[in-house]
Amino acid sequence: MHPFTFLACTYNLLGTFYWEDRRRPLERFLELNHLDVLCIQELSLDACELIGDTLPSMERVDDPFPGWTEEGNIFWNTDLFELVDYGAQDIGILEEKRRLFWVRLSRGSGNTLVVATAHFSWTGNVREITERINVRVEQAEAAAASLDDLVRPDEPVLFMGDFNDSIHPLRVLRIAGFDDSFMALGRVPAATYPALPIAQQPPELLDWMMHRGPIRPTLTSVVDFHVGFVPPSDHKPILTSYVLEDESDS
């Protein structure tokens, strides 16, 4: 009996900034990493097309709400998963088109997996400056509540994205029963921002991959990837392999 394993990735793709310079590095990253689940933040139509052309076995949510092509989306390997349903929950993120984007995927055996992604508001937002509050606490609480309503008992769930924080949203999500890929494996988390030379700021850990239920990570890594001197984005991706513990293949 062999456990069902797959490779997942979260990646903030910087929208359309410096797109022509970043196109080939992103294409090469996708060619070299055989992804089964890909969660994107700061998406663009150009990136949607590139991902689809480079990874023809991957599908994404196709929905008229513009947030699915201008903010976030989830891609999955159709050789492994089939889409059951999806949604975009408003969890109070200040940016207009950002949501808690989610899909429910089936392995074909009747068992399902929920995958969700979000991009919490940046620390430089107006509310944070004027009211002196951390808006990501509210957003994390709303995300946890939405996932509690959405996810079935004993259903595995992955929640990943750009949380723009390394403390408070993690605390909220851990209280809600989530664990992150680093701590679950006893690894020291690595900075995911910036990817030089596109961004040149002090290192920060902004991106996370979290899980709950009958699923566990086996390997996780922040990837410092360049083609020449150019990375695919100003963020670094996280790659994590997971095992679903509620099913196996013979």
Q: Specify the 3-state DSSP secondary structure of 170.
A: helix
- The predicted pLDDT at position 249 comes to 45
pLDDT at position 250: 39
Domains (ranges, CATH) in the chain? 2-243 (3.60.10.10)
Name the DSSP letter for residue 237: P
Predicted pLDDT of residue 203: 95
Tell me the C-alpha distance between 172 and 138, whole Å.
9
Helices H / strands E in the chain, number of each: 7, 12
> Would you state the pLDDT for residue 199?
84
This prediction has a pTM of 0.96
Return the bridge partners of 102, or none. 87, 116
Q: Do the Cβ atoms of 36 and 81 come closer than 8 Å?
A: yes
Provide block-wise average pLDDT over 10 residues at a time, the chain (250 residues).
90 97 98 97 98 98 98 98 98 97 91 97 93 96 98 96 97 98 96 92 96 98 96 98 73
Q: What is the pLDDT of residue 247?
A: 58
Helices (H), 118-165: 126-131, 135-150
Tokens of 156: 């595995």
CA–CA distance, 89 with 40 (Å, rounded to integer): 16
Amino acid making up residue 249: D
The residue with tokens 């989830």 is 74
